[in-house]
């Protein structure tokens, strides 16, 4: 068993090292120049799509910075967790050490992203209202929006400041807001970008446009809150059904740990517990899909 664990640990560390070398190669300036030459003639949409890695995009959406700047450290910690699990607890602990860290990181990043974007959507009508007041004071639409961005509060100010940076580099305001909307992937931001694009191309009353956007966003937010209140019982039922098997298993581990341990050492009991785990995962996913469809 020990030689197998040592071989597994060595292979895992070599795999992590290979990923780090691939990342360093892609960040090398010479490689970047070669990739730019190979990408000549392609449309700007393709270049824009591949300009940000999916991992950096997810962390930027959650407001956590770029993890690729410390990729070697994270891969080393991940490999150390798998190696520690293999040494202390055997193959199952090693598997848990490999799978649980990225799963926990994914859950945390997803939770933080939804929480942050929900707060940003709540702040967006205030930004639009500030833009309307600046327009009535005689400023242009671009100046009004940029001034409203500067006077907004976090987390919206930190996130939408990329619009100000893009405008300062020469990008038009509708394109900068469209880039912001594509990054955070919310309908409210897309409607804001679409309104600015229509006004920029065809003209019209910017005050009336922003006022209509404020009313529309607030009505959508009010409808979402009503739906959340109406489906509260369904969501609570799903949470209870999903947590009940875990709580029962935890109770057995606390009150009578030998019961599950002996069951795990028996081949039939092991198959039964793995089947129960698979059914628990399937049931949790099914409940989550049902709640999302309500």
- Per-residue model confidence (pLDDT) at position 9: 54
Domain extents in the chain: 116-223, 227-293
CATH 1.20.81 fits 116-223, yes or no: yes
Summary mean pLDDT of the chain: 78
DSSP run (H or E) holding 41: none
pLDDT recorded at residue 44: 37
- Name the H helices within 137-186: 141-151, 156-168, 173-184
Q: What is the pLDDT of residue 148?
A: 92
- What DSSP character marks residue 68? G
For the chain, count helices (H), then strands (E). 14, 0
pLDDT in tens, 121-180: 999 999 999 999 999 888 888 899 999 999 888 889 988 988 999 999 989 999 999 999
0.85 exceeded by pTM: no
| Residue for token pair 């369904």 | 234
Residue 29: per-residue pLDDT: 47
CB atoms within 10 A of CB 85: 22
Alpha carbons 220 and 135: distance in angstroms, whole number: 25
Block means of pLDDT (10 residues each) for the chain, 294 residues, are 51 56 51 46 37 70 73 73 71 72 85 91 92 90 91 89 90 92 90 90 86 90 83 81 84 82 82 85 80 66
pLDDT at 51: 39
Element (H, E) at 171: none
């Amino acid at each position: 068993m020990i030689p197998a664990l040592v071989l597994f640990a060595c292979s895992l560390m070599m795999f992590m090292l290979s990923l780090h070398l691939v990342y360093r190669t892609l960040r090398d300036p010479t490689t970047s120049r070669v990739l730019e030459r190979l990408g000549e003639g392609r449309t700007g949409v393709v270049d824009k799509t591949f300009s940000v890695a999916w991992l950096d995009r997810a962390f930027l959406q959650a407001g956590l910075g770029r993890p690729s700047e410390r990729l070697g450290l994270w891969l080393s910690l991940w490999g150390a967790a798998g190696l520690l699990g293999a040494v202390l607890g055997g193959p199952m602990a090693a598997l848990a050490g490999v799978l649980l860290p990225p799963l926990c990181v994914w859950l945390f990043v997803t939770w933080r992203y939804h929480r942050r974007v929900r707060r940003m959507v709540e702040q967006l009508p205030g930004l639009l209202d500030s833009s309307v007041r600046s327009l009535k004071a005689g400023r242009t639409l671009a100046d009004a929006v940029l001034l409203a961005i500067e006077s907004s509060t976090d987390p919206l100010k930190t996130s939408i400041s990329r619009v100000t940076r893009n405008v300062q580099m020469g990008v038009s305001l509708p394109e900068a807001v469209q880039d912001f909307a594509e990054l955070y992937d919310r309908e409210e931001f897309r409607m804001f970008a679409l309104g600015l694009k229509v006004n920029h191309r065809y003209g019209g009353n910017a005050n009336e446009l922003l006022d209509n956007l404020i009313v529309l966003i607030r009505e959508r937010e009010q409808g979402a809150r009503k739906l959340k209140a109406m489906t509260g019982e369904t969501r609570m039922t799903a949470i209870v059904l999903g947590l009940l098997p875990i709580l029962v298993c935890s109770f057995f581990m606390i009150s009578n740990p030998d019961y599950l341990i002996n069951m795990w050492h028996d081949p039939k009991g092991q198959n039964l517990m793995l089947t129960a785990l698979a059914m628990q995962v399937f049931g949790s996913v099914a409940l989550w899909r049902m709640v999302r469809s309500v």
